[in-house]
Amino acid sequence: MSSSGALSRYTNGQANRVHISDQAVHGWYRFVLSFPPHLVRDYLAKLEISSGQRVLDPFCGTGTTLVECKKLGLPSVGVEANSLAHFASRVKTDWSIDPRGLSEHAAGVAEEATALLESQGLGDFFQAHRGTPLESVQLLALPAESYRLLLTGSVSPVPLHKTLTLLHAMRAHREERYEDYELLALANALPTTIGNLHFGPEVGVGAAKADAPVVEAWQSLVRQMASDLLLVRAQCQTPCDVHFADARRVEDLLPPQSIDAVITSPPYPNEKDYTRTTRLESVVLGFLTNRADLQALKRGLLRSNTRNVYKNDDDDRWVADHPEIERIAREIEERRIALGKTSGFERQYARVTKLYFGGMKRHFAELRGRLRPGARLAYVVGDQASYLRVMIRTGQLLAEIAESLGYEVVGIDLFRTRLATATREQLREEVLVLRWPGN
């Protein structure tokens, strides 16, 4: 089994950075710390994927693999269980609309929203330029049930009011052809320009913004979309399907032996709640309205953290006979007891580790019938030590699981290293390369 540095021409810091030349379409909306477009290109070349072959990303997130395949004229298909991320991938791979029409429609919406705000004395950065007292303005707000889903302090009252005013103008001037693009531009602006969030390895809340240029930021992002569409129009007809579904249940989504390659990055086994990364935009845009919506979303995701573990989960049965995973789970539990850790989440550390690898085994098992003989696969994964500093060699364990299901392990390539928050050690981020021999 090889452990080569497939991306040795990049420094560790550059490896996960999006190049300026790759920003078109990818920049419409993407997860923080998503793997970069150049990694997809490198593995399309490494796996020798040619025109006419079909590429799958079963954990497609915000569509990095899908967009890059479409730019290169390769048919692709994605699967994503996070409703906001699925929406982003679907919009980012539909290049069929008229760019000029999009810009013109957004300009009309912006004019309407600006007029509404100006009538309230809430133009751009009102406190600095207009001095309008807040008490004189009846600010719009989210329903209480929706607002409770947000991280406390995610967005300040005035930027939220401006955002809801913009949404009102978008609905009043709704044009179905452009609606999704305009909503995605707002999803992009919310966690950055509008909200108070900051992103390290985890999402957190920073200093409150008294005001933000909501309409201006949104219109600028729509204009950038229109500009990007002009650049990629030659590949407009390249097929790309995006399914809103659970990657552990792919048998009903894909025809038998229809996939030539897989390039993906599943969640890692750690305490990163991926729904928090998209929570602000999911709530403001109406993808999540209450706790029942949030729980339904989490139930459709691979179990990778203790905040989406449920009583009836049974993916751990898939790895009940795997000695190393059982050993790791025992070590985590023994360390928890020794350290006197008794919170509900800490009690789930050992279980979620087994659920994660069981869910991945389930995914690999269901995928087999959808792969063509000789299909090649690349999984971007990372070692973890989130659970009481017990090391989890994710790539190595997934390689063993895949091999037990009949896959050939081609190699484990080092992509980069990253600093562990808890231990301050450098952890490996790798690309597990597999081949499906077929019958």
CATH of the domain at 317: 3.40.50.150
Q: What residue type is assigned to position 166 of the chain?
A: L
Residue 45 lies in a domain: yes
* DSSP letter assigned to residue 390: -
Q: Are both 310 and 417 inside the same structural domain?
A: yes
SS3 (DSSP) at 182: helix
Q: What is the pLDDT of residue 159?
A: 95
Give the CA distances from residue 292 to residues 3, 287, 310, in Å, rounded to whole numbers and listed in that order. 44, 12, 14
Query: CB under 8 Å, gap of 24 or more: what pairs does 104-111 form?
Result: 105/173, 105/175, 105/178, 105/182, 106/178, 106/182, 106/185, 106/218, 106/219, 106/222, 106/223, 107/219, 108/173, 109/166, 109/169, 109/170, 109/173, 109/182, 110/169, 110/215, 110/216, 110/218, 110/219
Q: What residue type is assigned to position 352 of the chain?
A: V
SS3 (DSSP) at 269: coil
Q: Are both 226 and 327 inside the same structural domain?
A: no
* DSSP letter assigned to residue 208: P
Q: Are both 315 and 357 inside the same structural domain?
A: yes
Residue 58 lies in a domain: yes
Q: Are both 246 and 220 inside the same structural domain?
A: no
Q: Are both 330 and 405 inside the same structural domain?
A: yes
Residue 284 lies in a domain: no
Residue 3 lies in a domain: no
Q: Are both 80 and 118 inside the same structural domain?
A: no
Cα separation of 71 and 56, whole Å?
Answer: 15
Q: What residue type is assigned to position 66 of the chain?
A: L
Cα separation of 342 and 105, whole Å?
Answer: 55
**Final residue of a structural domain among 209, 233, 257:** 233
The contacts of residue 66 (CB under 8 Å, 6+ apart) are 57, 60, 76, 77, 78, 89, 92, 93, 240, 242
Question: Tokens 């997130």 appear where?
Answer: 61
Q: Are both 16 and 81 inside the same structural domain?
A: yes
Q: What is the pLDDT of residue 16?
A: 59
Q: Are both 82 and 161 inside the same structural domain?
A: no
Sheet holding 408-419, edge to edge: 240-244, 76-80, 55-57, 259-264, 371-382, 426-436, 408-419
235: left (phi over 0), alpha (psi -120 to 50) or beta: alpha
Range of the structural domain that residue 428 is part of: 12-95+236-270+305-436
The contacts of residue 328 (CB under 8 Å, 6+ apart) are 353, 390, 392
SS3 (DSSP) at 75: coil
Cα separation of 388 and 336, whole Å?
Answer: 7
Cα separation of 257 and 437, whole Å?
Answer: 12
Residue 366 lies in a domain: yes
Q: What residue type is assigned to position 92 of the chain?
A: K
Query: CB under 8 Å, gap of 24 or more: what pairs does 287-295 form?
Result: 287/83, 287/84, 287/87, 288/83, 288/146, 288/149, 289/143, 289/145, 289/146, 290/145, 290/146, 290/149, 291/145, 291/148, 291/149, 294/149
Q: Are both 259 and 404 inside the same structural domain?
A: yes
**Final residue of a structural domain among 179, 213, 233:** 233
Residue 292 lies in a domain: no
**Total-model pTM:** 0.92
In tens digits, the chain (439 residues) has pLDDT values of 444 444 444 445 556 566 677 789 999 999 877 889 999 999 999 999 998 899 999 999 999 999 999 999 999 999 999 999 999 999 999 999 999 999 999 999 999 999 999 988 887 655 444 555 566 678 999 999 999 999 999 999 999 999 999 999 999 999 999 999 999 999 999 998 999 998 876 788 999 999 999 999 999 999 999 999 999 999 999 999 999 999 999 988 999 999 999 999 999 998 888 899 999 999 999 999 999 999 999 999 999 999 999 999 999 999 999 999 999 999 999 999 999 999 999 999 999 999 999 999 999 999 999 999 999 999 999 999 989 999 999 999 999 999 999 999 999 999 888 776 666 678 899 999 999 997 6
Q: Total domain count for the chain?
A: 2
Cα separation of 355 and 396, whole Å?
Answer: 17
Q: What is the pLDDT of residue 135?
A: 64
Cα separation of 407 and 361, whole Å?
Answer: 12
The contacts of residue 200 (CB under 8 Å, 6+ apart) are none
Q: What is the pLDDT of residue 271?
A: 85
Residue 400: half-sphere exposure toward Cβ, Cα within 13 Å = 12
Q: Are both 18 and 116 inside the same structural domain?
A: no
Cα separation of 137 and 117, whole Å?
Answer: 10
* DSSP letter assigned to residue 194: I
Residue 336 lies in a domain: yes
Q: Are both 46 and 195 inside the same structural domain?
A: no
Q: What is the pLDDT of residue 434?
A: 98
Tokens encoding 365: 């098992």
Residue 338 lies in a domain: yes
**Final residue of a structural domain among 215, 233, 251:** 233
Give the CA distances from residue 140 to residues 11, 22, 162, in Å, rounded to whole numbers and listed in that order. 47, 38, 8
Q: Are both 164 and 141 inside the same structural domain?
A: yes
Q: What is the pLDDT of residue 2?
A: 44
- Pairing type for strands 55-57 and 259-264 reads parallel
